[in-house]
Structure 1
Amino acid sequence: MEWIQLPLGPLQTNAYIIYNDERSCLIIDPGGEEQKIRQFIRKKGLQPKAILLTHAHFDHIGAVDTIRKGYSIPVYLHRAEKKWLSNPSLNGSSRYEGIQPMFVNEADELFTKDGELLIEGFSFYLYETPGHSPGGVSFYFKEDGFIIVGDTLFEGGIGRTDLPGGQEEQLLKSIHNKLLTLPKDTYVLPGHDGVTTIGQELDHNPFLK
């Protein structure tokens, strides 16, 4: 299994493309700049199978509909944010100057609970990690030693909780009870900025002391 990080859109939100030896791929959080996603897929000769969303804030969903339609693939999102994609007040796109209100079609499939999932040949563990938003989830690829966490945990930081549905206590509980229990050498792939590890955050993240 291989992955690439693509910072996209006005907030340089990290999209991830996960792909295997069969050249199938999953697209995580396509926040914008559809052409960059397509360029990488074309370069590698990949076949997209699904879009997975860690949560439904506007900077993570900007290219969802164009990618979904272009490749005829389903979109997965946690049920707690089912109505967020089409609601600019909930997805946050109406809160910022210079950002057009964002109306995205509803997800095709909804996550409902923690557990092992198999989607189009990709096996991973879904962790519910709310706090930054009510339906925040993380995707743990155990055999490959990485977890995609959206805006839950960052290098030296944690997700903001001042947006609709955010709760700091809940966020810290998600981090401590779910993420920090993983092996220390697990790579953490966040929604913004660079990659870190569980061990590095245990040792150096001031918000987790």
Structure 2
Amino acid sequence: MKWERIPVGPIQANAYILSREDGTCVVFDPGGEGDKIVRRIEEQQLTPLAILLTHAHFDHIGGINELKQKWELPIYIHEKEKEWLTDPALNGSAYFGIGQVAIHHEPTCLRGEQTLQIGAFAFELLETPGHSPGSISYYCKEIEAVFSGDVLFLGSIGRTDLPGGNHEQLLRSIHDKLLTLPEETLVLSGHGSETTIGAEMDTNPFLHGF
């Protein structure tokens, strides 16, 4: 199994394509430039199975419509942010001058921590609110990686000044849900380069003293 990071959209959020040797793949957070993601999937002759959302801010959902026009893919999102897909005020696109983003496709809503099985892919869902109320981190034990969205970054953490953000809740999510993963776990976040759980435990200044 392999992953590919594709920075997309006006603020270069990370979309990810996770693929298996059998040619199937899933797409995390197609936040913009959906045609670019479609082309990359076609170039690799992959068969996409699903769109997985860590949360529903505009820079993580803005490319969904292009993928849905090409393939009839299920969209997975936490139930707390279902309405954000269609509401530019909630997903933030109404305030950033980049055009209003609305996704008018019915998603599959997730609730509670569970194992999500999609084809041969298996993910442990970790509820990690704080950056947004329905933030989810997807832990893939097979590749020792967690797709953390905007919860945890290399040397930083997610912002909490947007609607529904809560700084203390975010820190609690990181400590209780992410820092309990094996230290070698790759953190594939919503912006910037990858890091590891161990590296953030040792060096991330936002996590010390909590």
TM-score, normalized by the shorter chain, greater than 0.5: yes
Partner of 1:12: 12
How far does residue 92 in structure 1 lie from its aligned partner after superposition?
0.1
Separation in structure 1 between the aligned mates of residue 205 and residue 115 of structure 2, nearest angstrom? 31
- Could you say what secondary structure the match of 1:15 adopts? strand
Q: Look up the SS of the partner of 2:95 in the other structure.
A: coil
Runs of at least 4 residues off by over 4 Å: none
> C-alpha displacement at 1:151, in angstroms?
0.1
Which residue number corresponds to residue 46 of structure 2?
46
Q: Percent identity?
A: 51
Residue 129 of structure 2 corresponds to which residue in structure 1? 130
3-state SS of 1:149 partner: strand
Partner of 2:186: 187
Q: Tell me the CA shift for residue 116 of structure 1.
A: 1.1
Name the SS for the 1:178 alignment partner.
helix
Asked whether the 8 Å contact 1:15–1:27 carries over to 2, the reply is: yes
Question: Following the alignment from structure 2 to structure 1, what is the Cα–Cα distance between the partners of residues 156 and 166?
Answer: 15
**What are structure 1's unaligned runs of at least 5 residues?**
none
C-alpha contact 1:132 1:167 (8 A) present in aligned 2: yes
Match of 2:171 in 1: 172
The answer to whether the Cα contact below 8 Å between 1:16 and 1:27 also exists between their aligned partners in 2 is yes
State the number of aligned residues. 208
Q: Which residue of 1 aligns with 2:142?
A: 143
**TM-fit CA distance, 1:106:** 4.2
Structure 1 Cα separation of the partners of residues 104 and 53 of structure 2: 13
In the alignment, what sits opposite 2:102?
Answer: 103
Deviation at 1:80, TM superposition (A): 0.4
Q: Which residue of 2 aligns with 1:75?
A: 75
Q: Distance in 1 between matches of 2:183 and 2:106?
A: 33
Which residue in the other structure is 1:158 paired with?
157
RMSD, matched Cα? 0.9
Aligned partner of residue 83 in structure 2, secondary structure: coil
Give 2:55's aligned residue: 55
Structure 2 counterpart SS, 1:84: helix
1:49-85 C-alpha deviation (Å, 9 max, x unpaired): 1000000000001111220231111111000001000
Greater shift after overlay, 81-90 or 116-125? 116-125
Which residue does 1:92 correspond to in 2? 92
Deviation at 1:107, TM superposition (A): 3.9
The superposition leaves residues 149-191 of structure 1 with CA deviations (integer Å, 9 ceiling, x where unpaired) of 0000001100000000000011001000000001111000000
Q: Using the alignment, how far apart are the partners of 1:34 and 1:84 within structure 2?
A: 19
Q: TM-score, normalised by structure 1?
A: 0.97
TM-superposed deviation, 1:35: 2.3
Which TM-score applies when normalising by structure 2? 0.97
Counterpart contact for 2:35–2:66, Cα < 8 Å: no
| Cα displacement string for residues 7-64 of structure 1 (whole angstroms, at most 9, x for unaligned residues) | 0000000000011011001010001112221221112110011000000000001111
1:150–1:191 CA contact under 8 A, matched in 2? yes
